Each structure stands twice: as structure tokens, then as C-alpha cells.
Amino acid sequence: MEKKLTGKTYDIQGFSVQDGPGIRTTVFLKGCPLRCPWCHSPESQAFHTELNWMSIRCLGLDECGKCLDVCPNGAIARGPYKKNAKDEDIAYPDVDKSKCDDCGACAKACKADALYMCGTDYTVDEIIHRLLRDKPFYEESGGGVTVSGGECLSQPEFTLELLKRSKENGIHTAVDTTGFIKWEIIEKVLPYTDLFLYDLKCMDSALHKQVIGVPNELILENAKKIAQAGGRFWIRIPVITMLNDSKEHFDLYCDFLSEIKDSIDIVQLLPYHKMGISKHDRLMKKEKIFVVEPPSDALMEEHKARLEACGLKVRIH
Ligand code: SF4
Ligand code: SF4
């Protein structure tokens, strides 16, 4: 029997009002070629289903300890006592991610769902079924589906099929992308994409590579090609302290966005926030997440005014 095409998701969010116009369903796919150190969804980065642990749910090894003996790789050991939110001393499991192969045995044993696997496979039919349930809300509000990530175009066949089927069913489509993807893939989804939510994280390519792991030329080139091909944009700029929050950097944004201005419906400015920290901790990674202070409201307003002076419609998220 032919294997059905599936996409690996880490979340599907109904009634979303931030990911495009109207009320939307956002389908978050796993896997991303970028490594933004401030990422607010670090569970989206890996392409595979991955073990997470939420300390607040854990009963501790003295009361429970069901996870301790099940690991076939010996990746779970007894950790030192730590204070929980109620100021009680609790011994928690200590997972060595270098030994873990994400088999899921410990998550299955954990009845409190403190250990859980992140990553669920869905067929296009399953997602379309869910979208059709919410179609009246899309019609009422001018909404639809947003395929997001991670980088959803890193699962190109699934994303293409989902967009095609959504259009066949009269559903407005948006693709939330980093733009760091081969043009051939973007070209295929273009006819089925009503709107691109397009991230421009940093205009200095060397800095982009140093901080995020890849340069930005392909991203800028693809944005111009999408504009030439008639695509529409919501441009998204995460404003990150010490990375792209200077006046000079926003002058570069103005220069570039002026070139594709006629294709842009709106520019969203997204101030850095610290919500990724707890999700990063759940992945039990040794590397520390990048933490800076969020930009001030006054600075956000200054940047908004700068872009508006270039003739762009701007919203602070
Ligand atoms: S998911 Fe990782 S830690 Fe849990 S049982 Fe499997 S290998 Fe061990
Ligand atoms: S099985 Fe779950 S609740 Fe029990 S100690 Fe392990 S992680 Fe905590």
C-alpha cells in the first residue's frame, strides 16, 4: 500500500488572530534551517519528534520515579534535590540528551505528562477536516489557514499539498516563512499562497550568519522574486536588542522594503520577549538561550515612525 503523505507538526492553533488577517488556524510544522538564539518556539527547530520535560508537572523521584528504570539507553539518572514552586525539596530526573534517542519510553511511563514527546504526524486529509470545521469563522472574519513553523517549506511536499487542498476548499492561505529556502520550492507554492508572512531578522548578512547561522542574501533575493511574481506580504521584523535595533539598521530596512513596497500589506514589528526561555528549558539542552532586555516602547514607536516615513503601513505586535 502506498504510504500517505504526512507532515510533522508541533502544534495546531485554532482561533489565532496574529498570523494573518481574520480568525485563522495556524499549523506549526517542525524543522528549521535557522538557529535564532532568541527563538520563542525552540521545540520547532528539530525535524524529529523530541522528548520534553516540564518540571512543574513532575511529581519527583521519591513520590513517583516511574521514568528512572525504563530508559533503554541509560539516559535518565537521579538528579540533586531542588526547590519546587511550593518551596519543597524535590529530586528530579536528570536526562542526558546526548544518550537519548527520543524513543519515548519514559514519556509513556510518565503518567503526569511531565515527560512528553513533541511532534505529531498528520495527513493532509486530517488537517483539512479540522480546517473545514472552522471554515464558517474564516468566512465571517476574512481568515483562513496559516502554515507556519519552524520553516514550513522545509516540509515542501506536505506544505504544497495542504495549500492546494485548502484553496480547493475555498480557504484563504498564508505561509509563514524565514525565506531561507530554494526558490524552486517557493515557486511551486506561490500559486496557492494568498499571503506570505515573511521574516526579515537582520539586514547585515555577516551578522545574520554569525548570530543565526546562515547569511541573508537568499532571503532578500527570494523576497524580491516573490514581489515580482505578484505575491503579497506581511513583513515581520523581530526587534532584538543589540542585533537590529539601531537607527542605522532600520535605515537598511527602509531601503530594502522601499524596493518591494507595492507588494507589502503591512510590516509587523515584533519586540523581543523572553517567552522562549521556559520552552528552551523543557528541551533540557545544555546550551543557554540568548537573553537580552526587550526594546523599550519608545524605541518601538521610533522604528514604527521610521518605516511609516518610507510609506509603509506598520503595526507593533
Ligand atoms: S526518550 Fe530518551 S530518555 Fe526517554 S526512554 Fe527514550 S532514550 Fe531514554
Ligand atoms: S515519571 Fe514523570 S512525574 Fe514521575 S518522576 Fe518521572 S518525570 Fe516526574
Distance between CA atoms of 243 and 240, rounded to whole angstroms? 5
pLDDT band at 84 (very low <50, low <70, confident <90, very high): confident
CB of residue 110 inside a 6 A radius of ligand 1: no
The answer to whether the CB of 148 falls within 8 A of the CB of 27 is: yes
Which residues have CB under 8 Å from 84's CB, separation 6+?
A: 55, 56, 60, 90
For the CA of 66, the nearest atom of ligand 2 = 1
CATH number for the domain running over 52-117: 3.30.70.20
Between CA 316 and CA 212, with CA 237 as vertex, the angle to 5 degrees is 145
- pLDDT value of position 281: 83
- pLDDT value of position 317: 85
Domain boundaries, the chain: 7-47+120-316, 52-117
Q: Which three cell numbers stand for residue 286?
A: 545544555
- pLDDT value of position 1: 65
- Tens digits of per-residue pLDDT, 121-132? 999 999 999 999
Q: Whose CA is nearest to atom 6 of ligand 1?
A: 103
pLDDT at residue 185 tops 70: yes
pLDDT at residue 231 tops 90: yes
Structure pTM?
Answer: 0.92
Best mutation site among 50, 51, 98 for ligand 1, i.e. most ligand atoms within 8 A of its Cβ? 51
Between CA 9 and CA 264, with CA 234 as vertex, the angle to 5 degrees is 150
Q: Find the residues whose C-beta lies inside 6 A of ligand 2.
A: 58-61, 64-67, 93, 109-110, 112, 114-115
* Packing angle, helices 156-168 and 124-141, rounded to 10: 50
Best mutation site among 52, 76, 95, 115 for ligand 2, i.e. most ligand atoms within 8 A of its Cβ? 115
CB of residue 34 inside a 6 A radius of ligand 1: no
pLDDT at residue 37 tops 90: no
**Which CATH class, in words, describes the domain spanning 7-47+120-316?**
alpha beta
- Tens digits of per-residue pLDDT, 236-288? 999 999 999 999 999 999 999 999 999 999 999 999 887 778 888 888 877 76
CB of residue 105 inside a 6 A radius of ligand 1: yes
Which residues have CB under 8 Å from 160's CB, separation 6+?
A: 188, 189, 192
